[in-house]
């Protein structure tokens, strides 16, 4: 198992390098000039200087190498410096955003807590709703509860977040006035009232995100439970005289959770991707909105770094899912 994990980790390095190259080349080979917005009255020499100031003077492979060094070597040092108070990174050039002229990673670190709060809560809520629905739908297959569950998850698949989000805003904040339509990230929770407000403003984005995740997860849970409910060991457990609760909730559930846990792990990065739209709808200033802003402002270093962070998340959670599968299911050991 350990060798498998190590092998996968080593394999992840070329994958990530390749992805970073793809992203870099996509940004690089795309027609379009970052200097296009500069007025025509600016003389060419000055334009050339500005180009160099943005780090665009050198050939492509050198810039790619520099970006790699900045991302994989200097940024971790900055992190260590921040926590331990050392000064490894003093004087090194970091990845600089063209919009704000400050290091990209600083802005990302500022934005990540908002995303994590909303997305993380949504994920937990979705798991808590989806698992019982999946279990009960499978246990009572083709009952009206199961039919309802199928229909609701189909709707959850089909209604895009930019519609469900806008719809709940219309209903709950415009018509009923229960919840604020804009997520206020500067809000500080220091009293009970502030906590209630925080809860109120989180409900809508969390529910919109959770609806989608629930739809997927409950289907997986149901299918996985159905696979296991007809197995021989279930009959044996019933024949032994175990109570129905123990049979379903202990024997079947534990075996059914194996694929579901990996699906949960695999879904985490795509949630960051899907959260881009939800963040946009509810004006949560997380990393999704940061990406949209950077794309609209033509801020290439920011776009490159953020896209790469998303890619790292995907590769990382793919790896976690694979390893988890092996750990949870002793029949699947990769070596």
- Which residues of the shown chain bind another protein in the complex (CB under 8 A)? 15, 18-19, 22-23, 26-27, 30-32, 154-155, 157-160, 162-163, 166-167, 169-170, 174-175, 269, 273-274, 276-277, 280, 291-292, 295-296, 298, 303, 306-307, 310-311, 313-315, 318
Beta bridge partners of 182: none
CA distance 335 to 44: 61
Closer by beta carbon to another protein, 32 or else 330: 32
Closer by beta carbon to another protein, 147 or else 243: 147
Q: Which residue has the tokens 């100031």?
A: 53
Closer by beta carbon to another protein, 228 or else 289: 289
Shortest approach of another protein to residue 178 CB, angstroms?
Answer: 15
Closer by beta carbon to another protein, 226 or else 313: 313
Torsion from C-alpha of 216, 219, 221, 224, nearest 10 degrees: -130
CA distance 322 to 316: 10
Q: Give the phi and the psi of residue 38 in degrees, each rounded to 5.
A: -70, 135
Shortest approach of another protein to residue 92 CB, angstroms?
Answer: 27
Closer by beta carbon to another protein, 60 or else 194: 60
Shortest approach of another protein to residue 51 CB, angstroms?
Answer: 18
Cβ(308)–Cβ(20) below 8 Å: yes
CA distances, 245 to each of 144, 152, 242 (Å): 21, 26, 8
CA distance 74 to 95: 9
Shortest approach of another protein to residue 152 CB, angstroms?
Answer: 12
Cβ(309)–Cβ(109) below 8 Å: no
Shortest approach of another protein to residue 313 CB, angstroms?
Answer: 8
Q: Where are the alpha helices (DSSP H) in the chain?
A: 2-29, 44-53, 60-69, 75-84, 104-139, 144-158, 161-168, 192-229, 232-239, 244-246, 253-282, 287-296, 300-328
Shortest approach of another protein to residue 231 CB, angstroms?
Answer: 18
- Burial string for 138-159 (b: 16+ CB within 10 Å, else e) reads bbeeeeeebeebeeebeebeeb
Shortest approach of another protein to residue 237 CB, angstroms?
Answer: 26
Closer by beta carbon to another protein, 89 or else 179: 179
Cβ(268)–Cβ(276) below 8 Å: no
Closer by beta carbon to another protein, 217 or else 252: 217
């Amino acid at each position: 198992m350990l060798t498998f994990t190590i092998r996968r980790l080593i394999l992840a390095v070329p994958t990530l390098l390749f992805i970073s190259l793809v992203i870099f080349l996509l940004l690089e080979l795309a027609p379009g000039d970052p200097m296009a917005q500069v007025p025509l009255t600016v003389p060419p020499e000055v334009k050339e200087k500005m180009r160099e100031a943005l780090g665009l003077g050198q050939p492509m492979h050198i810039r790619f190498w520099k970006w790699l060094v900045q991302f994989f070597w200097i940024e971790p040092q900055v992190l260590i410096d921040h926590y331990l108070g050392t000064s490894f990174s003093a004087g090194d050039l970091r990845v600089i955003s063209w919009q704000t002229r400050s290091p990209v990673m600083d802005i990302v670190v500022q934005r990540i807590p908002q995303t994590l709060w909303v997305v993380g809560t949504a994920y937990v809520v979705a798991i808590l709703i989806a698992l019982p629905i999946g279990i009960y739908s499978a246990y009572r297959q083709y009952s009206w509860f199961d039919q309802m569950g199928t229909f609701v998850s189909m709707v959850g698949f089909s209604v895009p977040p930019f519609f469900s989000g806008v719809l709940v805003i219309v209903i709950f904040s415009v018509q009923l006035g229960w919840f604020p339509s804009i997520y206020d990230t500067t809000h500080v929770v220091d009293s009970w009232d502030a906590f209630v407000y925080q809860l109120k403003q989180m409900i809508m984005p969390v529910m919109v995100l959770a609806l989608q995740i629930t739809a997927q997860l409950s289907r997986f849970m149901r299918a996985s439970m159905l696979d296991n409910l007809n197995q021989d060991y279930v009959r044996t457990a019933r024949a032994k005289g175990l109570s129905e609760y123990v049979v379903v909730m202990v024997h079947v559930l534990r075996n059914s959770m194996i694929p579901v846990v990996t699906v949960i792990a695999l879904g985490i990065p795509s949630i960051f991707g899907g959260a881009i739209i939800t963040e946009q709808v509810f004006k949560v200033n997380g990393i999704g909105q940061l990406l949209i802003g950077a794309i609209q402002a033509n801020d290439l270093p920011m776009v490159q770094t953020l896209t790469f962070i998303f890619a790292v998340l995907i590769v990382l959670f793919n790896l976690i899912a694979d390893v988890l599968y092996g750990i949870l299911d002793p029949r699947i050991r990769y070596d």
